[in-house]
Structures are given as structure tokens and as C-alpha cells.
């Protein structure tokens, strides 16, 4: 009996309608504009921040500023934020009146003329725009739009990088968003546990690709969009490759990496399963330790997670602490939010356990969310000392110097 199938059906029956989804999204957007944006603007030296994009080639931040019923920039769309005002310049500006003051209409002529006049009226002397050498998500203004702004402003307004506010807008979460995340994390866990069941996995017949498609279908059937893969692989006694794919067999240690986007928030989760041999009633000695030793690495990283520490320093001290406990750890954690690989400080890469220029230099901030993604390699006696990897990843919130596992974490090897 797969109780997670029943829980999945309950979730499916209670998924919000499109109208309800848009309503919730818009309430969150208004909260963010009212309570997050003013504080971010206070941190900056410039007089205003402009996010501008062209249809079909948009700044990635534009989608985070649009109400839920609008799906992209039309023609050219621009948002302007100052410490006291927020404006939109768009053919659909009148449809955003609950969120922004509309400062341009199509019949008003060239949009850049209106931008220039608005900036002069507001006495904006320094304008932040989205260009960045190190951060793709803060590098959204195209060359042609930058040049059009520069020519229009004729040196009267100084254009500077809005890198910091762009990153912080994307990574900062309200309390309500974190509670939404808690529900999404539960959905992720139920989908994974539902997929990894005897109803879906038959030794000698089911392939890792089959399970990937099951995960994808379980997500799409309830209106969720996976943002990668998903990926499923296995480790097998006597096989060196820790990310093997193909037909699964009894005795395999299975692993999945699964993430979806729902109403503007992305999840990222990895869990591990043992496909039990019918001839055995227990897990082979040492395999359970693979998970518990990886939990130790999670605990070390969580203890070192403090506001103001850089991603690079957090990586360094955590690897040092892990080595002192004889853990063979690799840490590659990252922010999540509007994007699965979100804006904010990177804490290692799977192929780089040294300092990471730019993204690793960013400092941990309060009210942010991360995918605590890492692994630990442990020799397993019952597998003739073969090194076995514990691959774990959980979506967490960081508030008040504490890591919150939103729907708990895997602390034992799950049996199939």
C-alpha cells in the first residue's frame, strides 16, 4: 500500500484554480512591493532603479514585477522605482494600476521621451539599471536599450549598475512566501515518495528514465512545471559509477534530483532509496550510515550559516569542519526563489570546491531560501568497502540565523 499515492490524490484535489493562483500571486507581489522594495532602495546610493525590457528578449526581473495575469513585456516595458514612488511604462500600464502608477500611454508617443521627462520631473540624477559582469540575473538590460536610454538622457542622468538591488529583490522572501514554500516542499516530497514505490519500480524491468518520466508526469498532472530533468540514477555494488543509469535491480541504491516551479517559486530536492531484495528483510550494513553521515555535513553547513558570511567563507569553514570529522564532503548549495538556480551567494560548485569569484563573494542575507545541496562519500563494509555517495538536497529558509527545513529532511534511507 502506497500511502503517498493517497496523499498525492488529496493534493491534486485541492490544487488552486487558475483564478485562485493568480489572486495569491498578486497578493504576494503587492506585499513584496510594499514591504521589501522600500528597504532595498534605502540601501542604494542611486536615486532610482529602472528595469526595462523588450518583448521576447526580456530582463529576467520583469516577470517578477508583472501581475500574475500578464506573462511578459509588451513591446517595450519599463518599471521605475524611487524611494517614494513606483511607476510602469507599458502599453498595458492601466492594467497594473493596483501596483504601479502608469507613466506612459501608446498614444503619448515615443516611450523614451516619456522616460526622460519622468526622470527630469523626479530629479533623478543617478539611475540604476540591470547590468552586471558576474550575475546573469542582474544583467538583463540589452545593449540597444542601454544605448537608447543613454542617448535620451544626454548625460543629464548617470547610468550605474543596479546589481545589488536586482540580486536582493530576487533573493529576499516575505514570511508569506516562506509558508507557501513550506507547502511546495511537502508536495515535492510526496511526489518523490509516490514515484519511488513498488507500484512503479520493478526490478529488472524499470529504467531510470521510466522513473524520471513518472516524476515529470506526477508534477505536470497537477499543474506543476519541472525546471530541469528530473534526474534519476543508481549506485550498485561492484559498479564504480555513482550516477549509473539504465535498468534498475534489487539491491540498487537509487537517487533522484527533482525540482518544479509553482506560482513563481522553484523547489529543488534530492532523496535516496534502497530497492530491497525480496530475499532480505533489512538494509545491508553500512548503507544507512551513508545517509546519516551526509546529514552530518548538512548539520555542519547549517551551523555555519550566519548572516553576513560570504558563500566562499561558508564553504571554506564547512569543508574544514567536515574534514575534521573524517567526512569526505562536497558542498554545492545555492539560492532558490524565482529561479531554481537563484540569485544570491553560491556555496561551492560540484566541480569547484575553491573560491568562486563574484557569486561566491556575496554575503548571506536574512529572509532568503536555499537548496542545501551536497554529498558525502562513505566506504560501505557490506559492499566490500566500496565508496558510496550520499546525495541529499532540501529546500530551506534562512531567517534569524537559523536554517528551517521546511518539510523536514531525509534522515534514513527510504525502502522500496
DSSP 25-47: HHHHHHHIIIIIHHHHHHT-SSS
- Residue 1: per-residue pLDDT: 56
pLDDT tens-place string over residues 200-223: 999 999 999 999 999 999 999 999
Question: What is the chain's Cα-based Rg?
Answer: 24
Residues of the chain with pLDDT under 70: 1
pLDDT tens-place string over residues 236-279: 999 999 999 999 999 999 999 999 999 999 999 999 999 998 87
Residue with cell 519622468: 118
pLDDT tens-place string over residues 345-361: 999 999 999 999 999 99
Q: What is the spatial distance between Cα 118 and Cα 112, in angstroms, rounded to a whole number?
A: 10
- Residue 280: per-residue pLDDT: 76
Percent helix, strand, coil in the chain, to 5, is 35, 25, 40
Picking from 305, 292, 413, 415, the residue whose alpha carbon sits closest to that of residue 368 is: 305
Residues 6+ apart with CB under 8 A from 189: 269, 271, 407, 408
- Residue 107: per-residue pLDDT: 81
pTM above 0.85, yes or no: yes
State the cell numbers at 92.
498595458
Amino acid at each position: 500500500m502506497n500511502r503517498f499515492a493517497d496523499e498525492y490524490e488529496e493534493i491534486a484535489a485541492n490544487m488552486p484554480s487558475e483564478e485562485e493562483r493568480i489572486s495569491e500571486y498578486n497578493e504576494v507581489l503587492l506585499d513584496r512591493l510594499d514591504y521589501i522594495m522600500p528597504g532595498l532602495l534605502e540601501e542604494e546610493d542611486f536615486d532610482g532603479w529602472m528595469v526595462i525590457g523588450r518583448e521576447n528578449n526580456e530582463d529576467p526581473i520583469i516577470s517578477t514585477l508583472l501581475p500574475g495575469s500578464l506573462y511578459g513585456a509588451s513591446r517595450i516595458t519599463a518599471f521605475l522605482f524611487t524611494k517614494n514612488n513606483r511607476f510602469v511604462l507599458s502599453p498595458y500600464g492601466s492594467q497594473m494600476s493596483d501596483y504601479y502608477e502608469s507613466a506612459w500611454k501608446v498614444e503619448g508617443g515615443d516611450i523614451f521621451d516619456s522616460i526622460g521627462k519622468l526622470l527630469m520631473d523626479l530629479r533623478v540624477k543617478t539611475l540604476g539599471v540591470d547590468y552586471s559582469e558576474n550575475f546573469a540575473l542582474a544583467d538583463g538590460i540589452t545593449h540597444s536599450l542601454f544605448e537608447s536610454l543613454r542617448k535620451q538622457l544626454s548625460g543629464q542622468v548617470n547610468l550605474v549598475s543596479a546589481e545589488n538591488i536586482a540580486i536582493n529583490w530576487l533573493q529576499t522572501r516575505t514570511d508569506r512566501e516562506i509558508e507557501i514554500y513550506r507547502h511546495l516542499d511537502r508536495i515535492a516530497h510526496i511526489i518523490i515518495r509516490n514515484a519511488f514505490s513498488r507500484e512503479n519500480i520493478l526490478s529488472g524491468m524499470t529504467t531510470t528514465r521510466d522513473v524520471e518520466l513518472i516524476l515529470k508526469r506526477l508534477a505536470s498532472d497537477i499543474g506543476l512545471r519541472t525546471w530541469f530533468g528530473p534526474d534519476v540514477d543508481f549506485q550498485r555494488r561492484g559498479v564504480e559509477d555513482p550516477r549509473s543509469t539504465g535498468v534498475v535491480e534489487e539491491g540498487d541504491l537509487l537517487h533522484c534530483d527533482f525540482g518544479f516551479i509553482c506560482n513563481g517559486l522553484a523547489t529543488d530536492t534530492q532523496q535516496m532509496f534502497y530497492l530491497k531484495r525480496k530475499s532480505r528483510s533489512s538494509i545491508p550494513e553500512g548503507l544507512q550510515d551513508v545517509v546519516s553521515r551526509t546529514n552530518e555535513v548538512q548539520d555542519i553547513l547549517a551551523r555555519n550559516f550566519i548572516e553576513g558570511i560570504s558563500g566562499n567563507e561558508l564553504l571554506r569553514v564547512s569543508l574544514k569542519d567536515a574534514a575534521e570529522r573524517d567526512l569526505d564532503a562536497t558542498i554545492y548549495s545555492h539560492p532558490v526563489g524565482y529561479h531554481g538556480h537563484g540569485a544570491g551567494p553560491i556555496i561551492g560548485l560540484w566541480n569547484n570546491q575553491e573560491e568562486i569569484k563574484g557569486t561566491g563573494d556575496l554575503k548571506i542575507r536574512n529572509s532568503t531560501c536555499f537548496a542545501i545541496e551536497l554529498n558525502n562519500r562513505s566506504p560501505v563494509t557490506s559492499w566490500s568497502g566500496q565508496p558510496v555517495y550520499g546525495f541529499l538536497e532540501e529546500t530551506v529558509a534562512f531567517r534569524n540565523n537559523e536554517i528551517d527545513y521546511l518539510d523536514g529532511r531525509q534522515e534514513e534511507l527510504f525502502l522500496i
